[in-house]
Structure 1
Amino acid sequence: MAKSRGFSIYLLKSTFSNENALKEDHSLELLSEGVINLPDGAFMYIADRPSSVPWWKNYWGVQKDLYQMQKGALVFLPINNRWVVLTFGMTYHQLNDNCYEYDFGLRTTLNALDPTKIKSTDILQPENAKRQRVQSPTASELNFFDLRSDETILKKMTGAVKDEYADLFKNITGGNSLKVSSNLQADGISDLCINLVEIYEKDDYKTTFPELQNIVPVKDPALLDLLKKNLIEAFNRNPAPVELVLSIPELFDYSTDYKIKFSGEGRSNLEFTDVYIKGYREYLLDKGIEEVEDVEKFNTHKLRILDDNEILIKEYSIYKSFLFDCEVEGKTYHLCEGEWYFIETDFIINLSTELDSIFIDNHSFLLQCEDKREDDYNISVKNSNPNIICLDKKSISPNGQYQVEPCDLIYINNNYLELAHVKISTRSSSLSHLFNQGVNSVQLLRSNNQAKDKLKELVENEVTILPFIDEGKYSVTYGIITKNDKAKKSKSLPIFSRISLLRTVNALRTMNIPVSAYYIFDNVDRKNLNQEED
């Protein structure tokens, strides 16, 4: 039996071919002769970089001759008036970010996959750009992977295929590209790709995985142009709105020593320790650019991750690195990894119905914020109200465990011991932390006697408070310091913050914990601050 080999496959958009799909500065060589098994009409490009000495050889003074080499290839196959690209090695980075169908791998996988034989999922939580891979030791159904279709985007899936496709391949992995193994020889690969494109064009996934439809890709060119216009307008506001975030657009090993640079308008000496819109804007200003007028600039400008030797680890277009929420004609859209998604309208309506009731119009002492820092605001509230205790940066976690802050402010209110959690900003990642903090502290106080004892010590055994701690009679208030319109209630929050808040509210309600949210007016000009408070 012939040996099975792995193939990584991209489907180019209809307007792209080998002539315009590669980056302008690509370093690949087109082979015009000496390729015996290449199908008719196909093209092969190879990466044949000369060998180099690894940095650690001289660092440790290794005397032995050591060299590392990087080889790879791209093969362009014509398939039914479209082009498929097979990538070998790391050459996929030589493709333009906008040249291929981003849903090809995932949609083909969802159409071909046996829904009872899933082995792995990669998901993205847009509220905080959190990426997670969940693997099963045995083939399982979707519910094993705890994929919450109302708050996550499925980025990749691996599993065994349905019986009807078993003659083509046994297992399949799909994300932006498609990965399959096959024992076909070179003259049969074109037929395999024809079958894959046919599977991609089916709608079987809508029946097999109906729960994955709350968040769906946007394909209408006219709507995409309108969404991109919204993105340009948001970026050119300084500071950028909280709905716009720059992030590394895939799973990344943060244990690697790295630095961030930007390119696209020429070299710059600016480098950064992490990824922020502020750093990208500094790069543009360094090049004399105050505003971006064409969204195509976001495709040609690059976010570059380099190691200590200035060797490129990863490179992404700025466009692919944006996370962005916006509303157009009453509908909500989300940009993630270069693709726009429509958020189901009924789902948005349900969020408002569930959440608006917890937003209160007035609060007795959480008045407007005049402080740049959260801790200063919390102290000012405490100083103005003798019955309030400030517990900001305190911990109730049992000895040896990760620090858990009980709340920022604690006080008796309406016959409950109220735990107030305060956060400057309506940025999704910050609010996700805020909402989770409210749940985690209550769960710990309800379940751990050592945590309760620590809280008693923190409130200095205040006689009026102790009975509430013993009974576990708490309520939770989220104080959000922002300039956003409080009249819009939950709609003043980014979409995935609302989803996160609903999850939190439901968790607190199952513990019979009353919960409320309040917008604290931010009376501070934060335009020139380095960054928001964590």
Structure 2
Amino acid sequence: MATRSMSIYLLKPGITVEESIKDNRGYQEVEAPSSVIPNLRVFLKPGNPKQPWWKTYLGVESTLSQQSNSAMAFVQRGKRVFALAFGAGHHLLKEDAFVHDFGTRVVLNAVDPNKLKSTDTLDPESSQRRRTQIPYDGDLALLSFTSDSSVLKSLTGKAKAEYSDLVRSVTGAASLRVTTPTEPGDLALLLKRLHTLYKSKDFRRTFPDIAQVRPVTDPAIVDPLNEQLAAAVFDLTAPIVLTVPDVLDYHDEAYVQFSGRGLSEMFDDVYIKHYREYVEGKGATAQSFTVDDLKHDELLLLDGNYEVRQRWSIFRSLVFETQEDEGYSYHFSDGAWFQVATGLLESLQEFLDPYWVDATLPPHTWTSEAEYNSEVSAATGSVCLDQTSMSPSGQTQVEPCDILRIGEQSIEFVHVKIGTSSATLSHLFNQAANSVHLLRTSEEAARKLLRLVEDKAGARTARHVADALESNAYSVSIAIVSHKQTPEKKSANLPVFSRISLRRVLIALKAMRIPITVQLIPDATDRAGRAKPRKPRRPRQPTPQ
């Protein structure tokens, strides 16, 4: 029996066909025989015949033309209206007119969990998007889906046997993409059963962890959250952080600046206070400030010569969280909103907080991370290994740690990082795990470490370190330098996706039987209040004629 593919949207309750359609999209409603599909309305957009670009490119003289027609069909079933998109018909729908998790929920309930084919996932921490496909039937594990750190954006697979008379394969995102043998006269029955699948919660048994972190795309939810985000810029008590949304090398001299309303002063580091004062100085108030201002204004990263190296919108550079619904929190990171189950937050806190200790290193009072590592090492009789590498020849550089603390019977690898941005912390956590794993698996890396220690602290200290490595008498400490004044909150000081990343690393280190602690180091510097004088630019040299 022939099958057909179509994309199906579910309109929100109470939304009419007229309310769901965008204006001026070139679509015209046409009459359709209601006897075939009851309650059917069809909108068409004929394509314009065009010559393919490659005809001229290849010098082909034959007369060629191609066109793509589009359609959107609306079918009412009971009190709900379904929209069926063909071609580029989905462009006719308003973003706030349809249910944004319809496709995902139907697929989670209808798909055979052992006959999956493809996943589209998002890593909120790094903003990496991946499509993973396998040439055979498999489960989520084979598709490399990590439930606590990946957001499922789309899932494709074969339908369960009990639904094979309706659909053969299903793909779910905001819409539902189905391959179905259903004839027009049975379309109403198909839509009814799909709606039943959408309302079902059975998927929670089959995929118990898959909905712990979900992207939020529905404008009806996003718009009020964005209003809260804009208001939080002026709220001194709000849990909002401005950060560079990328991994930075703090060994290089760098400054930050704001633009969009004229250039601001330059600063040594990124703080929401600076941005708030910048917009207030340009006349912005809590009442007039909107999310469009956040998308328009920019954060500039400057190098040591005060030249712009990178730039991001303020909108993308903010981290914020708020609890709106019972059982869920909403987290904003890298320009997107995510709904996080409260149960996940509670499990993260329960797992992470026991690793938290009071600060065992002195407060940060120097101008850079490199200077802190050097001065603290000297003051505590430790070995500074910052900006060194123990990686085997031909491999990517891997630092053993920043500070190697030497105890009487053991040693401690301390990894230090300034700031609590997700990208920065992910780099720190991975460094802690990768360095220990490399020491455990590479004799060359261990020898390089001992040579580094001997060069910096002498042969006696190197022998002590060698004995500690031989007897596994070593531990790891993650030290996060921050201006946050809430050490009692422990892991809650970190963005939620950093907590997820930290748990993953702690599990890996625990599997290697490595003792590990996490500490928050007070940042006592006044980097937040010090502007930099602007260096005059050199005149541009004329271009030779």
What TM-score do the two structures reach when normalised by structure 2? Answer: 0.72
- Structure 2 CA distance for partners of 1:375 and 1:94, relative to 1, 3 Å: farther
C-alpha displacement at 1:296, in angstroms?
9.0
Q: Deviations over 1:437-493 (max 9, x none)?
A: 100110001110111122223224532134434425432111111122112111111
How far has the Cα of 1:397 moved from its partner? 2.0
Which position in structure 2 is the counterpart of 1:334?
A: 330
Q: Determine whether 1:368 maps to 2:363.
A: yes
Q: Secondary structure of the residue that 2:82 maps to in structure 1? A: strand
Structure 1 residue 436: deviation in Å? 1.2
- Written as runs of structure 1 = structure 2, the 5 A alignment for 1:409-420 is 409-413=403-407, 415-420=409-414
Separation in structure 1 between the aligned mates of residue 320 and residue 146 of structure 2, nearest angstrom: 20
Q: String of CA shifts for 1:322-361, please: whole Å, max 9, x gaps.
A: 875334699661347976524233x433433332232222
Query: Is the partner of 1:457 in helix, strand or coil?
Result: helix
Partner of 2:305: none
Given candidates 423, 426, 439, the residue that maps to 2:420 is: 426
Contact 1:104-1:177 at 8 Å conserved across structures: yes
Q: Report if aligned partners of 1:8, 1:177 keep a CA contact under 8 Å in 2.
A: yes
CA gap of 1:527–1:108, structure 2 versus 1, over 3 A, is farther
Structure 2 unaligned spans of 5+:
247-259, 261-269, 298-313, 533-545
What is the CA deviation profile of residues 161-204 of structure 1, one whole-angstrom value per residue up to 9, with x for unaligned ones? 11111011111111222111134455654543333223212222
Partners of 1:498 and 1:163 in 2: how far apart?
39
Instruction: Specify the alignment match of 1:78 in structure 2.
Output: 75
CA contact (8 A) 1:356 1:490 kept: yes
Amino acid at match of 1:451: A
Contact 2:373–2:403, Cα closer than 8 Å, also in 1: yes
CA contact (8 A) 1:334 1:341 kept: yes
Alpha-carbon contact 1:120-1:158 (below 8 Å) kept: yes
Secondary structure of the residue that 1:75 maps to in structure 2?
strand
Q: Alpha carbons of 1:529 and 1:475: their partners in 2 closer, same or farther (altered >3 Å)?
A: farther
Any gaps of 5 or more consecutive residues in structure 1?
Answer: 249-264, 266-275, 304-317
**Contact 1:124-1:155 within 8 A present in 2 as well:** yes
For 1:450, give the aligned amino acid.
E
1:344-393 Cα offsets, whole Å, 9 max, x none, are 33x43343333223222232xx32224554334333434545x3333333
- Cα distance in 1 for partners of 2:216, 2:432 equals 35
**Does the Cα contact within 8 Å between 2:414 and 2:479 map onto a contact in 1?**
yes
Deviation at 1:108, TM superposition (A): 0.2
1:299 Cα shift? 13
- C-alpha change, 1:381 and 1:277, in structure 2 (3 Å) is closer
Shift of 1:109: 0.5
Aligned to 1:492: 493
Kept in 2, the 8 Å contact 1:411–1:419? The answer is: yes
Q: What residue identity is the alignment partner of 2:527?
A: D
Structure 1 residues 188 and 501 mapped into 2: Cα distance closer, same or farther (>3 Å)? same
1:465 paired residue number: 462
Judge conservation of contact 1:11–1:104 (CA < 8 Å) in 2. yes
1:146-185 → structure 2 map (5 Å cutoff): 146-184=144-182
Given residue 487 of structure 1, which amino acid in structure 2 is its aligned partner? E
Count of aligned pairs? 478
For 1:128, the equivalent position in structure 2 comes to: 126
Equivalent pair of 1:243/1:325 in contact (CA under 8 Å): no
Residue-by-residue CA offset, 1:19-45 (whole Å, 9 max, x unaligned): 33345xx65212234878995541314
Residue number in structure 1 paired with 2:392 = 398
Q: 1-side partners of 2:432 and 2:99: how far apart?
A: 41
Distance 1:215 1:138 in 2: 27
Q: Determine if the alignment matches structure 1 residue 509 to structure 2 residue 520.
A: no
Separation of aligned partners in 1, 2:492 and 2:192: 45
Q: What SS does the corresponding residue of 1:20 show, helix, strand or coil?
A: helix
- Are residues 1:448 and 2:442 paired? yes
Q: Which residue of 2 aligns with 1:28?
A: 25
Q: After the TM superposition, which of the residue ranges 225-234 and 476-485 deviates more from structure 2? A: 225-234
Counterpart of 1:268? none
Q: Considering only aligned residues, what root-mean-square deviation do their CA atoms show, in Å?
A: 4.8
Per mean C-alpha deviation after superposition, the further-off stretch among 393-402 and 425-434 is 393-402
Are 2:95 and 1:118 equivalent residues in the alignment? no
User: Does the CA-based 8 Å contact 1:371-1:524 persist in structure 2?
Assistant: no
